[in-house]
Structure 1
Amino acid sequence: MKFVTHIDEKKFTLFNENHPNGHALQSIEWGNLKCIGEWTKELVGLEDGSGDLQASAMLLRRKLPGLSRYILYAPRGYVLDYENIDLVKEFTKELKQYAKKTKAIFVKIDPCIIYKERTIDGDIKEDGIDNTKLIESLKNMGYAHKGTNLDFEGIQPRFVFKLDVDKDKDTLFKSFHHKTRYNIRLAEKKGIEIYEGSIDDLEEFERIMRVTGSRDGFITRPLKYFKDMYNTMEKQGKMKLFMAKYNVKKALDKAISDLEKEENSKKPNEDRINKLQREIPEMTELASKNLDGIIVSGAIVLLNGKKAWYLYGASDNLYRNLMPNYLLQWHMIAYSMDCGCTLYDFRGISGNLDPNHHLYGLYRFKKGFNGDFVEYIGEFDLVVSKFYYNLWEFWVPKVKRLIRKLRKK
């Protein structure tokens, strides 16, 4: 095997898109997006005697402040067969030498490799996959395991929901929980429409993203980041923006039609008639003020080979009762299937399935699509320089905490 750098981008992309462990966050386009900020990207790999790639990594490099040292990060880990321990060892050995030569103090990875196989309810399967030995093998190779936390403590989520979409749409739709199917149909009946967004829609998307962040307690990205993502990835077919709109005029027309049918029926439902009579004046006024409809939610999906990832989702506080996010997800799933994808990844959930946990609703929402509850093995740091790594891991955080305390006095 030969360790190579500066791999041809077309060759790298072909390998990443077709490998079982290929990932959108290992794509050239994702690396280009990150290069707009403080990172640079590098393509490295292992070639066999025929010049074919057997392992690859899109590495993001970042300089440490005040030091002539760097950190390297391979988002979602290396693209290789992790069951081939000899291959992992060889790539690790070569990569560690490369990192040392280029003054990196460690290489971070967070592979999409199952830790322990679980049921949809989060229970560990007795005879399921168990990669405890892989974790130990990585430790023996010099990787520091960052633990198995339950929430979103890492760079990437450790728990995700995945959906096999290698089937026809009718069969897939019927496999959803009956409440999920009901909410998708409800959104359509209530006038929710999904459309593919353009770069001009990002301003509204970023606005409702901030609303979502404030409601759910997380920091959001600025508008520039989303525009950079669109400009870097959309034309290459690596990302799509979808928006959900409340078509009030369409909902009003249906309400008027429903009222007429109810009033003319042989057994009119007086409660329903009264409800529609109350709603129609309000909807009439709302429709007159929002001729183009009202944006209620949006989402970004990433594509790589035959896989799709739900990356970002945003929803306004208004009209959540119309269930726009259910229809939005179904539309993105159907779109990924039209693109030839066989896997749709809902991404992050919490591993804490206590119904009282603040993230339980996220799990319940994604569970309704009847996918697979997946737990990954977590983050690992391939330590290159123990001195600088200890400085980074232990002393820098302590100094930062001390400075914050002094500022408060």
Structure 2
Amino acid sequence: MSIMVKHVSFDDYQKTQTNYKDANFLQSAEMAKLQLSRNHIGEVEALVFERDGLRIGQAIVVYRRSFRIFRKALLFHGPLLDYTSMADLTDFLEALILYLKKKNIASLSIHPYLTNLIRNEELEILEEDKADEVSKVFEKLGFEQYLDPEQALVVNQMFVKPIDTFTTSDEMLAAFSPSLKRDLKKFTALNVKVEELSDDNLNQFYDILVRTAERKGFSVHPLTYFQDLKRNFGKSAKFMLAYLDCPAYLAYLDENIKSFETKIQALKDGPQKKRTKGQIADAQDQLRSYYKRLEQFKTYQITGDKLPLSAYLFMDYGPEVVSFYGGNDEAYLNFGGAVLLHWEMLQYAMRKGKERFNFYGTIETEAASTGKGNFHFKRQFGGQLETLVGSFDKTLNPFYDIFKKTLGKD
């Protein structure tokens, strides 16, 4: 029996949106409502696909104007369906194309949330051409496939850590590299702490995000976008802040300064052995480092008890937790706020029974060898770099191609 395409309400769509292996927040009713509220989106539609009365797939479709007179349909990280049956996929796409043609849509762009290539932390290939059969179905139906290296429309490469084999935080911690374990211990000792921001304090997240964007040269949505996102996703959108507990940090410095001063004096007053001179020199070096940190802290001109270090938005959705947006105050990178934030949320994801933690959009793989870039930061937690199958475009109105060839990009 053929597939039926039905327009449904967002509430109806939401009832089954997490029933799929490829469930993701871009293909959610919450995101659709957010997109509609931003005004720059012309239309957002929720579709379900049924066969014999059973819902076998669904999609959030975004419609945008192109060359003023045309409309194109986009499925960001969709559609949601079982990609293991090529026959069902063919029927699904044919039904979608027919539905969109009846709506006079000129172009269709599909960006499935489907992994094609998996590499390890050293960028060695573990699996490839995982979605080759899917690509062949799209090709047979006249779609053009491509992978945008700029990830301008949608993320197509992400670093992912499977966590479904861990049952405790200690197990996960034990699997980390010695250097990451040392960093986590060190940053915790400095009294770096993590909290979830309330709806009224999202500006703290946004201030750090804007400064990060200016430093790295990317654009960000206005604050109202994130406020609307929180309103639509509720508890599933977790705005997290890593901050330095200033009174506790000062107490930590004071304790160590006194400890090393006492140690130095005890060494000087005690019996002078062959190694005593070296022990005194080492202790004096440590003491100077703590005094240096104290002097540096005084230059921060802090007015409150909390010094914001890093802020990230994490999406708790379907089988994963996604590190969606975030940044760091460059002046305080040495406190490791982002490291502790992600460790906290990795533990949160494990407690929630998630299959994986998704560090999301990952670039700068070439810079990893020099210890720089977001891939270098993410891979220290262990996991794999997944490249999605890419994007598939199909023209539904031949006049649209004429305009593209004549006028260039829409």
Partner of 2:49: 46
Q: 1:352 to 1:323 in 2, by over 3 A?
A: closer
Equivalenced residue count is 389
Paired letter, 2:159? F
CA–CA separation in structure 1 for the residues paired with 2:46 and 2:96: 11
Deviations 1:287-307 (A, max 9, x none): 8x4323121211001122232
Q: 1:336 to 1:395 in 2, by over 3 A?
A: farther
Displacement after TM superposition at 1:383 (Å): 2.4
Displacement after TM superposition at 1:316 (Å): 1.3
Secondary structure class of the residue paired with 1:60: strand
Q: 1:350 to 1:276 in 2, by over 3 A?
A: closer
Q: 1:281 to 1:355 in 2, by over 3 A?
A: closer
State the percentage of identical aligned residues.
20
| Matched-pair contact (CA < 8 Å) for 2:86–2:133 | no
Structure 2's unaligned 5+ residue stretches are 268-279
Paired letter, 1:240? K
Partner of 1:264: 262
Partner of 1:253: 251
| Matched-pair contact (CA < 8 Å) for 1:45–1:57 | yes
Partner of 1:186: 186
Secondary structure class of the residue paired with 1:116: strand
CA–CA separation in structure 2 for the residues paired with 1:196 and 1:113: 31
2:311 counterpart (298, 301, 306): 298
Does 2:162 match 1:148? no
Partner of 2:124: 123
Paired letter, 1:369? F
Partner of 2:17: 16
Paired letter, 1:206? Y
Instruction: State which drifts further: 4-13 or 219-228.
Output: 4-13
Instruction: State which drifts further: 185-194 or 7-16.
Output: 7-16
Displacement after TM superposition at 1:360 (Å): 5.1
1:55 counterpart (49, 54, 57): 57
| Matched-pair contact (CA < 8 Å) for 2:368–2:375 | no
| Aligned residue runs from structure 1 range 314-329, under 5 A | 314-329=327-342
Secondary structure class of the residue paired with 2:17: helix
Partner of 2:273: none
Higher strand share: 2
Does 2:237 match 1:239? yes
Deviations 1:108-142 (A, max 9, x none): 221122223323322223x6553334323211112
CA–CA separation in structure 1 for the residues paired with 2:128 and 2:401: 35
Deviations 1:60-87 (A, max 9, x none): 12233631x3221111021112221111
CA–CA separation in structure 2 for the residues paired with 1:55 and 1:278: 60
Q: 1:328 to 1:204 in 2, by over 3 A?
A: same
Paired letter, 2:260? E
Give the structure-2-normalised TM-score: 0.87
| Matched-pair contact (CA < 8 Å) for 1:122–1:353 | no
Displacement after TM superposition at 1:361 (Å): 1.5
Structure exhibiting the larger radius of gyration computed from Cα positions: 2
Q: 1:386 to 1:176 in 2, by over 3 A?
A: farther
Structure 1's unaligned 5+ residue stretches are 401-409
| Aligned residue runs from structure 1 range 25-174, under 5 A | 25-37=26-38, 38-39=40-41, 40-49=43-52, 51-64=53-66, 66-67=68-69, 69-125=70-126, 130-145=130-145, 147-149=146-148, 151-166=149-164, 167=166, 168-174=168-174
| Matched-pair contact (CA < 8 Å) for 2:121–2:384 | yes
Instruction: State which drifts further: 220-229 or 330-339.
Output: 330-339
CA–CA separation in structure 2 for the residues paired with 1:239 and 1:255: 36
Paired letter, 1:104? I
Displacement after TM superposition at 1:16 (Å): 2.4
Partner of 2:382: 370
Partner of 1:226: 226
| Aligned residue runs from structure 1 range 269-284, under 5 A | 269-283=283-297
Partner of 1:407: none
Displacement after TM superposition at 1:251 (Å): 0.8
Secondary structure class of the residue paired with 1:70: strand
Paired letter, 1:199? D
CA–CA separation in structure 1 for the residues paired with 2:297 and 2:364: 41
Displacement after TM superposition at 1:309 (Å): 1.1
Q: 1:169 to 1:382 in 2, by over 3 A?
A: farther
| Matched-pair contact (CA < 8 Å) for 1:248–1:283 | no
